[in-house]
Structure 1
Amino acid sequence: MSGKVLRLAVALPLFVTGTLGHYLGWSPPDLFTVLLLAAYVAVGYDVVLGAFSNIARLRFLDERFLMTVASAGAVLIGEYPEGVAVMMFYVVGEIFESRAVERARESISDLMDLQQDYANLEINGSIETVDPDTVSVGDVLVIKPGERIPLDGTVTEGRTSLDMRALTGESAPRDTGPGDAALSGSVNLTNMIRIRVTAVYSESTATKVMDLVEDAASKKAHTEKFITRFSRYYTPAVVASAIALVVFPTLITGQWELWLYRGLTFLVVSCPCALVISVPMAFFSGIGRASGSGIMIKGSNYLEILSGADTAVFDKTGTLTEGRFSVDTVHAVGAEEGYVIEMAAKAELYSDHPLSETIKAEYGMDIGPEEVEYMENLAGRGIVAGVNGRTVHAGNRSLMEEIGTDFCADEGGGTNVHVAVDREYIGHIIVTDTVKEGAAEAVSELRAAGIRRMAILTGDNPSVSRAVGDAVGIEDVRAGLLPDGKMRELENIMEGSSGGTIFVGDGINDAPSLRRADAGIAMGVAGSGAAIEAADVVIMDDDLTKIASAIRISKKTMQIVRGNIVFILGVKFSVLALAMFGLAGMWAAVFADVGVSMIALANSARLLGMKNI
């Protein structure tokens, strides 16, 4: 862009001097004509060369072709100032376009800087600086204050504060110590720490997020695709109209110069660059604005879907609730409470389900792998395992009914894990979770943002699920669902949606629903590559209110896109009509092209500066 600015700086005084001399009749007139021609060459030679290059490749119906024909035509009929003005203001428009795009890119510059280009690898007590690509899982890295973490890992030594803004949008640093996750892309602020690597470079959070941002540009909204198709037909149509405007009236009146001028004016006005530039710019600005809040939207098509969505469906555990369980009560039947916990924990040895982890933590004893002969996961019901020669079933009431075991139907408040040994019921464990802080506020904000219908789909028991629904303000709660049942319910809800349906999940266990919904939103997944792959919108922390923020940003983006289209076409068609009847000259045409482009670009770029949407 600096080269264009320099050429413009050279051409501007030549243009001003030449124009004044031309219109005021200064002498000698040829001098001012030369100045204007020099200004034309200085500012527009690359545009003209680009036009001829495209003609050679049979791609001549673009804005460079239109500007070259219009400006050169004006010069040939002696309208030097206007011909130079067309080219000069076209280049000014290109400069403004470049600056607007640059500003949009700056809004996500933190993302572009996520990836660290080196890692401090500790080997036998010494530190070597290596390429992050060469680091393996299990290696130990030293992260000094001020350095960006190159790969995902777990802190093994030291305490510090991490700047997570580029990943989650959090303004406050996050305190981190031994055992805590340290995500690539975050910045170590205070003390030196050591981390043990948990994911290779290509699978680390920073790389996943960067891939997400880079891929977003390829997923275009229907409006963007329409504008591309529209310009494909619009440009040839107006070129043909301009030729007709010159040829037919000239044959009748013989005033070829007059009608050529009007035809050239018609060409300048008809240039579609205002549409072709401002619409993608608005979507790009919307994605950039969202990314600054820790909301990663994978393409402008999802902005369009979010703006029209009227239905939201939530997973419960880990989405509306914290997903951090604790054993509340153990009800034993004909056995000791400790025995119920022991048998459940051993049966769950090879399961990584959050409920299983909670029960094993409650048991607190080492379990030898030789104690568990086999384990089978029963989707949506629980597990069956061979423990020290006995068959243990642990799961929900559906599993107990399936094996024909009488069980305690009075389950109480919480998630119940029923346990049977050799098909004899020995009791149940009540595990509780808590509703996320801000969940009710988020539901209220979604209603204010235009979401008319909300539902919870969960495999948990009905009483617990309804309690969560009451706490957050969602009446439609569908509980006790197996995975295939959850998908059927989601599809039924989607059929009743007139706008679009979003599904909100934790991004790990909800991949099918995230993919099936019109737009899948994964929550709290700064560190989950699976979530980034599965979802269409990724919210990097657990702030549920950001769902409503994403919808508001999407609606504002679409409002600006539609406003730009109406404004651009309204001005262009008005000036085109006036130009046909000689009521608008080349200066009006320049405004209808370059002026309108700059106004539309400024309107698109203002999304980036909006603080509260």
Structure 2
Amino acid sequence: MFFIRLATIMSVRYLNKHKNMRGNDMKEITILLDGLTCANCGNKIEKSINNRSDVELAKLDFLTNRLTIKFNEENQETDIEQIKAQILAIEDVNIIVEDQPKRITKKRYSIDQIRLISGIVGLVVSLLSDGLIFKGIALLIYIFIGYPVFKKAFVKLRRKDMFDENFLMSIATIGAIAINEIPEALGVMVFYTIGEYFQDKAVNRSKNAISKLLDVSVNQAVVVIEGKHIIKKPHQVLPGEVVFVAKGAKVPCDGVIIKGESLFDNKSITGESMPIQKKVEEDVVAGAVNLGNPVFIFVKKPYEDSSLARLVRYMQQASMKKAKAESFMSKFAAVYTPTVVAIAFIVFIVSSFYLFDAREGLYRGLIFLVISCPCAMVISVPLGYFAAMGYGGTQGILFKGGEALESAIDIETVLFDKTGTLTKGNIVCVHKAAIDDHDIFRSDEIVNILEKHSGHPIARALVLATESNSDMQITNIVETAGIGISGEAEGKRVEIVSLNEVTLSESLLSVSRQYPMAVVLKIDSKPAAIYFLDDEIKPDSAETIQRLKQWGIKTIMVSGDREASAQRIAQQLGIDEVFSQLLPHEKLAVGERLKTEKRKFAFVGDGVNDAAIITLSDCGMAMGGLGSDLTIEAADIVLLKDRPMDVVKAIEIAKKTRKIMITNLAFIFAVKIIILILGSLGFASMWAAVFADVGVALLAVLNAVRILHHEAR
């Protein structure tokens, strides 16, 4: 399984427990805000810490509740207790260091449950009887169940934050009591508390579901030193050491098998569903699970430079990068609540004068206060992006944050590099032909037997493309670098040479220009057969191009190959436009032309020379398995399976996410506006306002994580 708990797999930096910490010892800290489920409160915490003079930048990752604070260089002393107090003044959370237990959270939930039960009982009692005693009981229960809300409201009032939901809910329900609507005040507080309770549980459950998708931690490594098995942490293992990986264990570092053979499950790293058989001299990556026999692995690089550690870093960065929609909603929320509160006051004044009934005017105004909280809007957007990134991870698609997701939505053109992206980067024989009256089957036998004596990539391609069932013997075999291989078969001299070593008819030369490479079999110095070689097209490349065209997306291929060869592959795949014989700076020029034309384009590549155009593109996608480190670093999206079809999947996930976000926001705004209009006209109650607040927020959370169950077509 593959998504977001990667952000917390990396060790949380230890907070100094002393009150003061010197700037020389602390430039950046990361703390956990356990129990934070309110996205709007999270935004306030982030903004508040950023306003400190000693802080250069504070960023909150709402998914993992990690607050990273980077201090100014000139900072000499920072009071951590002040920062804690500042956070607690905004939201009642547990500030937890690495080794601190989480017992407080469990205790708080049990108290919440008692409050909920007593609130429901009190509500039933208050509705069944209108007596003074029952009203008194309902009032006491109201105070008991509303205590956490009042406490937070008082803290916010001291900070002059009158637009907090707790303060607004307190004023609204106290106002209801003032006009002798005690059952309704209790009911609003009960349903608000119930809604908040289940909303918190839904948010936490959604976070956990997303986080479990990326639980790929490697806890230990078994290092073999002088025949002894020594247990170390993965980051303590050095290149050149040998590690032992038992059945069921995870590979701790990238390396190569030196003893043993086994099946490895890579789905947590690449999303690949089927296990892969690995044997001696084959590479394995950190995080892969050994499903079979024990193996010994020679470590090639330290854990910090492994594929797994690199993914951890990307995911840490990804969950911290806010999309434009998230930033917009945070800014909108800051305006929305004061605006609705102002309208509430206007409704109260107008209704009181128009109806000559201050009680009714106050009631209508209180409805606006209840519905003024922006939590539903603020929480649904980031949670939707986190869910999409988590789902992408399970498919082997790594989105580097919400901004990367957004970049894939409105793509108009996709530029593909050819080699390693649309093709496998492997030489294969794609076409062959007999020359004059020679038998192609006999030629295949000679080529097959002769090339089995060579280890050249061209030789491997020719052996795979030919068959030999005869007992023919070829002797005096000689391989000459840059020319070919030769020998003697049945008294005749046989040679396989490059095209430059023979004279061919114009028709064969014309065909050969469509391919980047060709070799010729000669028998007694006469050409007998020609074999055309090219890069092997990936199985899903053609379908990828077809799917993109269905969306109206233009496809372009850029290649360093000669024109005829590039055109042939482009025609096979159905690509709209092709640029061939390009140098790296000429590829960049193609992207710059698209920029000039105001066309939003994505670039998909894998080579070091693709990094510049990936950076230039609106959406850069890198092949994660074959791609260079520089290209992967520059990309917005990493395709871990190296499959072209994942370009389609990435765009599809992005489009699906936007659809869910639009649905969410439209639903939230529609419900709130309807209740506001009905409330101002006297047709809605505070009960409906509570639903428009916490009820809608709960539904928005559930809808936001629906992408986790999405199946790409």
Calculate the TM-score normalised by the size of structure 2. Answer: 0.69
Shift of 1:486: 0.5
**Amino acid in the other structure paired with 1:562:** I
Shift of 1:461: 1.2
Q: What residue in structure 2 maps to residue 61 of structure 1?
A: 163
Change (3 A) 1:194 1:508: farther
114, 127, 142: which one aligns with 1:10? 114
Q: What residue in structure 1 maps to residue 577 of structure 2?
A: 476
Q: What residue in structure 2 maps to residue 286 of structure 1?
A: 388
How do residues 162-561 of structure 1 correspond to structure 2 at under 5 angstroms? 162-247=264-349, 249-250=351-352, 255-325=357-427, 412-415=513-516, 432-448=534-550, 450-496=551-597, 498=599, 500-506=600-606, 508-525=608-625, 529-561=629-661
Change (3 A) 1:445 1:327: closer
Q: What residue in structure 2 maps to residue 160 of structure 1?
A: 262
The SS at the match of 1:217 is helix
5+ residue gaps in structure 1? 330-356, 368-407, 418-428
204, 222, 226: which one aligns with 1:102? 204
Shift of 1:430: 8.4
Shift of 1:33: 3.3
Q: What residue in structure 2 maps to residue 398 of structure 1?
A: none
Aligned 8 A contact 1:120 1:128 in 2:
yes
Aligned 8 A contact 1:205 1:527 in 2:
no
Shift of 1:315: 0.3
Deviates more, 1:252-261 or 1:285-294: 252-261
Change (3 A) 1:262 1:110: closer
Change (3 A) 1:85 1:20: closer
CA distance in 2, matches of 1:267, 1:208: 47
Shift of 1:78: 3.1
CA distance in 1, matches of 2:192, 2:167: 12
Change (3 A) 1:550 1:6: same
The SS at the match of 1:434 is strand
Q: Is residue 670 of structure 2 the alignment partner of residue 566 of structure 1?
A: no
CA distance in 2, matches of 1:141, 1:496: 54
Deviations 1:385-442 (A, max 9, x none): xxxxxxxxxxxxxxxxxxxxxxx9996344369xxxxxxxxxxx98631111111011
Shift of 1:70: 1.9
CA distance in 2, matches of 1:496, 1:592: 45
CA distance in 2, matches of 1:542, 1:77: 67
Shift of 1:82: 2.5
Shift of 1:454: 0.5
CA distance in 1, matches of 2:358, 2:108: 35
Q: Is residue 125 of structure 2 the alignment partner of residue 21 of structure 1?
A: yes
Change (3 A) 1:102 1:156: farther
Deviations 1:442-461 (A, max 9, x none): 1112223x242000011121
**Amino acid in the other structure paired with 1:550:** A
Q: What residue in structure 1 maps to residue 141 of structure 2?
A: 38
Shift of 1:107: 4.0
**Amino acid in the other structure paired with 2:618:** D
Aligned 8 A contact 2:409 2:654 in 1:
yes
Aligned 8 A contact 2:256 2:280 in 1:
yes
Shift of 1:23: 2.7
Deviations 1:38-58 (A, max 9, x none): 25523x433332333333334
CA distance in 2, matches of 1:497, 1:471: 29
Deviations 1:327-359 (A, max 9, x none): 999xxxxxxxxxxxxxxxxxxxxxxxxxxx959
Deviations 1:77-104 (A, max 9, x none): 3323332333333333333333333344
Aligned 8 A contact 2:399 2:637 in 1:
yes
Q: Is residue 708 of structure 2 the alignment partner of residue 608 of structure 1?
A: yes
> Which structure has the higher relative contact order (CA within 8 Å, separation 6+)?
1
The SS at the match of 1:323 is strand
The SS at the match of 1:257 is helix
CA distance in 2, matches of 1:220, 1:227: 11
Q: What residue in structure 2 maps to residue 83 of structure 1?
A: 185
The SS at the match of 1:322 is strand
**Amino acid in the other structure paired with 1:62:** D
Change (3 A) 1:128 1:458: same
CA distance in 1, matches of 2:536, 2:346: 72
Q: What residue in structure 2 maps to residue 373 of structure 1?
A: none
Shift of 1:276: 0.8
**Amino acid in the other structure paired with 1:71:** T
**Amino acid in the other structure paired with 2:657:** T
CA distance in 1, matches of 2:391, 2:583: 38
Change (3 A) 1:14 1:326: closer
The SS at the match of 2:334 is helix
Q: What residue in structure 2 maps to residue 402 of structure 1?
A: none
CA distance in 2, matches of 1:487, 1:264: 60
**Amino acid in the other structure paired with 1:456:** M
The SS at the match of 2:684 is coil
CA distance in 2, matches of 1:485, 1:473: 23
The SS at the match of 2:414 is strand
Aligned 8 A contact 1:22 1:33 in 2:
no
CA distance in 1, matches of 2:199, 2:124: 29
Shift of 1:72: 3.2
5+ residue gaps in structure 2? 1-34, 36-105, 432-455, 462-477, 482-508, 519-530
Deviates more, 1:56-65 or 1:164-173: 56-65
Q: What residue in structure 2 maps to residue 344 of structure 1?
A: none
CA distance in 1, matches of 2:302, 2:459: 29
**Amino acid in the other structure paired with 1:323:** G
Aligned 8 A contact 2:262 2:294 in 1:
yes
Change (3 A) 1:123 1:229: same
Calculate the TM-score normalised by the size of structure 1. Answer: 0.80
Percent of aligned pairs with the same amino acid: 35
Aligned 8 A contact 2:211 2:390 in 1:
no
Matched positions, count: 533
**Amino acid in the other structure paired with 2:124:** L
Change (3 A) 1:95 1:189: farther
